[in-house]
Structure 1
Amino acid sequence: MNINLIWAQAKNRVIGNHGTMPWHIPEDLAHFRHLTENNPVIMGRKTWESLPPRFRPLPNRKNIVLTRQPNWGTAYSNRDVIKANSIEAAVTPQIVGSGVKDVWVIGGGQIYQQYLPMASRVEITEIQAEFDGDTIAPVLDSNWKEIGRIKNISSSGIEFDFVSYLRVKGEPGQYSLNF
């Protein structure tokens, strides 16, 4: 199973501000949907809560929410919403399902930091502008190689790039799981 990370970041590495994305780029949302659809997505509880209620759970994806809150999720009987209490538990076959090839980690900042050592692929939308924010993207070190870049301009005039990275040095960390 491949653990993949996906996020959008400003030039100053901002990925969020008070639980929201400080920009609206419809083309990025479509790209996110295209990559993550029909795959499990893992997110922290705060990321779940930041999603507009009409988009919870994200459709056509198993939504795995990391939280230590014991009573969280009692309102969700939907099989597409599953609570996990650790990053390790979230990627077990009991949670993601058997035969799953790709899992996408979709936020937030702390969750990205925890999964980065286990990841084999990262997809970043690099927004060519700076934004104020309180959540910062992780830094990719020399273990990562850019393998593709597509330049874009949004319908609102914001320049951005879709950038793909693969791990090229070292194996994904100790929690790299093969099922």
Structure 2
Amino acid sequence: MPHISIIAAVASNNAIGKDNALLCHLPGDLQRFKQLTLHHTIIMGHKTFLSLPNGALPNRKNIVLSKTVHEIPNCIVMGSLEDALESCKNEDEVFIIGGGILYKQALPLADRLYLTHIHANLEGDTFFPMVDYSQWTEITREDLNSGEKCPHSYSFINYERSIIN
């Protein structure tokens, strides 16, 4: 089985989105997302797919989970996370890219977290699940200051699971 990695930008109050959009524009976070996920499989829920301005992300295998939609251009549509992971069993690493329901399903299975912690409570309607950080080891951390697009400081933190469920 591949490494199951979750990638997300999460506010201090665990908000990850509002009105099917990101909380704020972080160019560095988008660049990091691209660098990490390029040439890998990304798995997302249907609402997350609909939030992408140009549809399927290029140079990645896009798997969209949906029980009602059966075909999406340039994507593989599957009915469950289990089916999606089974289809990726020979890959090195797959990325769960949202949304909130999928993150909650995937968290117990994940062995890596690539999180952008936004150091502010932001208004949202979609939330990241609570993480028991005692089960995770911080591998790398980069702290960044606020900028023009996002008035909040933030940190890129990579974690690996240290306690297996």
Q: Do the two structures share a fold, i.e. TM-score over 0.5?
A: yes
Equivalent-residue separation in structure 2 for 1:128 and 1:36 (angstroms): 24
Count of matched residue pairs: 161
Equivalence for 1:159: 153
Three-state SS of the structure 1 residue aligned to 2:8 is strand
Equivalence for 2:47: 46
TM-score by length of 2: 0.91
1:118 paired with 2:114, answer no
Runs of 5+ unmatched residues, structure 2: none
Equivalence for 1:101: 92
CA RMSD after TM alignment:
1.5
Equivalence for 1:177: none
Three-state SS of the structure 2 residue aligned to 1:103 is strand
**1:153 to partner: Cα distance:** 2.5
- What pairs with 1:14-163 in structure 2 (closer than 5 Å)? 14-52=15-53, 54=54, 56-69=55-68, 71-73=69-71, 75-76=72-73, 78=74, 81-93=75-87, 96=88, 99-141=90-132, 142-153=134-145, 155-156=147-148, 157-163=151-157
Contact 1:64 1:83 survives alignment (8 Å): yes
Equivalent-residue separation in structure 2 for 1:143 and 1:151 (angstroms): 22
**1:99 to partner: Cα distance:** 3.3
The one-letter code matched in structure 1 to 2:143 is K
Equivalent-residue separation in structure 1 for 2:6 and 2:23 (angstroms): 20
TM-score by length of 1: 0.85
**1:154 to partner: Cα distance:** 5.0
Name the structure with the higher strand share.
Answer: 2
Three-state SS of the structure 2 residue aligned to 1:34 is helix
